[in-house]
Chains A and B, each alone.
Chain A
Amino acid sequence: MRVINKALASAAAVAICTVSGVAQAQPTEVIHWWTSKAESAGIKVIADAFNQSGGEWKDEAVAGASAAKTAAINRIVGGNAPDAAQFSMGADINNLVESGLLANLDTVAQAGNWSQVIPATVMSAITRDGHIYAVPVQLQATNFLFASKAALDKVGATMPKTWDEFFATGDKLRTAGIVPYAQAGDRDVWFMNTFAAVLASVGGVDGWKQFTGPKGADYVHSDAFKPVAEILARLPKYADSGVSGRQWNVTNQMILKGEAGFFIMGGWAIGEIVAAGKKPGEDVLCSIAPNNAPAVVNGDVWAMPVKGDNLTEAQKKLAELTTSLEVQSKFTTAMGSLPIRTGVDASRYNACAAAGASAIEKGNSVAALMIPFSPEKVGALGAELKVLWAKPDAKPDDYVTAVAGVLEKY
């Protein structure tokens, strides 16, 4: 009798413990790749806001974008999906959407009035078949033209407003013993980035639309594209011989030390400049490439894997917070990136980020190539450009053929 009573009592105790354990909310797991110092400070803004509003943030940081995306995909396909995962804005999530693995965010978008406060280019990047499948987190301009002020002062030049000025200044820099143009060369994507910057500054918003539209190959073969090919064929001669294999942050150092004059890179370089103790806008000048170019903008999104019939409370909360005015202001200031909505207080932005933000507000921006193009197409384009960069006798026609070939094949 006593034994049975004891057994029943302990069984009841265990049952109560288990039930109360289940009643506790599971922490919200978010996979992302923001692991550097500035990036950690940025994601902390969102995490703090989430925790303060009653949630429990569980950080699942994975270093490296490919590794983080792979981890997220493996978990989603394996059945143990995280609550949110970071992906690149645009075609990155197409496969996941097609397989029905991402949750629909229409209700949150309606409640937050996203169509009024988020620019049309961003909205189209996160919408598929009329439904919204990702939460925009931040934008980055990828075609900043950075210049070392020390190098420009040495030859008595200013930021070039046209490509002719750019090459003229480049000649002066070369005679002064400074590398005119620094290019990062360890990954295909840097060559694609330079190409995008040149295309945007020559073609503008209209040229870009034609390039990314259905008749892209025709545009490449037309006369409007010729200046792009000529500039691309000229650039390798203004760079040094150590391009191949060089990482982007090492190339950035050349600008900071005054060893090189110009550098085309995205807004993430601003974090490096600040971390090296230089002032963006003073020690390192920046503008959105010559010719009043539109900002070539890509960004990051939260993809919300399907967990049941609707969005979970935690997912809803994360989506609302990330797109709220307050979090966007604090987050983008900490990250050195650009907000995904209008109305953000840009007073604490540094000079470079402010230039990017104003370009977007004025509507002078285009979606980066990885938004309309599949990862395969983007990769193939970068690979072709990388091969052409290394060819010492590449002509503008070679560029036309190679780029048109990629557009036709993929």
Chain B
Amino acid sequence: MHGLWRGRLQVTLAMLPAWIIVIGVFIGAMIWTFVISMTNSRLIPIYKFNFFDQYVRLMNQDAWLVSVGNLVVFGVLFILVCLVLGFLMAVMMDQKIRAESLFRTIFLYPYAMSFVVTGLVWQWVLNPTFGIQATMRSWGFDNFVFDWIVRPDRAIFVLVLAAVWQGSGLVMAILLAGLRGVDEDLWKATKVDGIAKWRVYTSIVLPIIAPMAATATVLLSVSVVKAYDLVVALTGGGPGNATEVPAKFVMENLFERQNVALANAGAIMMLAAVVVIATPIYYARRYMAQKAAG
């Protein structure tokens, strides 16, 4: 008994710093953000409350509504393409090829680059005046056009392109680990039954690595909501506001436009959106796990 109690105390003490940080910093900062978003603060926090005024102003701003729309388009495309591409790359790597570590390094390397570097490099590559378009034209293809980065209707796809380049390596690594975990006997059984390899992957292996795919999706979603440095480096908000995202809106209002309260309202809206999406998924998974157990 005494030993058990001592063990519990040690565990609690070890976890204490982490708990203090979570409660004090994360939750405390969230509460403070919410409080400020209900005030009239401009540059400096002033505790003069005007409640949901800032949220009303936010919803009336074209810039905010456009940026939310852009985020949805970017997020859905980015996650889908990353998952598909990552899965295909993992399947390729799973074929027991030679120089597998070399390929893995190459595919995973972009993830080592920060979003800022990614955005900047892709911006220079895709700029029509001295990027791909100019190079192809100097090689003789006079009518080659690839100016998606400056077209308001296509700029968001350029954002997806750069983000996918950066993120699909991570998905590949996660799914590859999952694929490696598939039992050898399963493969032998499918060979005995004479099932086509692609059928095995889609109908049998995919459900097995579904938890891994879920993990990858969560990681990618975090990148989507955080997307600020990529946007600033790649398009600066895009031609017009074609690639504005909520995170950029919040940062701009916090610093350059000296409007802390409005920025905080935007941040709380982003948090609310994440909670609204994540909560049903969390409860659905718990329900399915309970069903499987019981």
A residues whose Cβ falls under 8 Å from a Cβ of B: 66, 69-70, 73, 77, 92, 95-96, 99, 101, 179, 185-188, 240-246, 254, 374-376, 379-380, 383, 386-391
Contacts and interface: CB of A to CB of B under 8 A. Distances in A.
Contacts of B252: 379
Nearest to A387: B240
A70 B149 CA distance: 31
Interface stretch (B80-88, B123-131, B175-183, B193-201): B123-131
B241 A387 contact: yes
Contact of B150 (A243, A387, A388): A243
23 contacts: A70-B255, A77-B44, A77-B45, A92-B258, A95-B42, A95-B43, A99-B44, A241-B128, A242-B130, A242-B150, A243-B150, A244-B150, A244-B235, A244-B236, A245-B235, A254-B129, A375-B258, A376-B42, A386-B237, A387-B240, A390-B150, A390-B240, A391-B240
A264 to B, nearest CB: 18
A389 B240 contact: yes
A185 B128 contact: no
Contacts, number: 88
Contacts of A241: 128-129, 147, 150
A240 B241 contact: no
Interface in B212-266: 234-242, 252-253, 255-259
Contacts of B273: none
Given A375-B256, A375-B257, A379-B256, A244 B239 contact: yes
A383 B63 contact: yes
Contacts of B24: none
A77 B44 CA distance: 8
Nearest to B236: A186
Interface residues of B, number: 32
A245 B43 CA distance: 27
B152 interface: yes
A376 B44 contact: no
Interface in B138-182: 147, 149-150, 152, 155
Residue in A92, A242, A254, A386 with the greatest tally of chain B CB atoms within 10 Å: A242
A388 to B, nearest CB: 8
B46 interface: yes
List 8 tightest A-B contacts by C-beta distance, closest first: A390-B240, A242-B129, A95-B43, A390-B239, A186-B236, A387-B240, A244-B239, A379-B257
Contact of A240 (B129, B155, B255): B129
A69 B258 CA distance: 10
Interface in B37-86: 42-46, 63
Given A243-B239, A244-B236, 11 more contacts: A69-B255, A99-B44, A99-B46, A101-B44, A244-B238, A245-B150, A245-B234, A245-B236, A246-B127, A387-B240, A389-B240
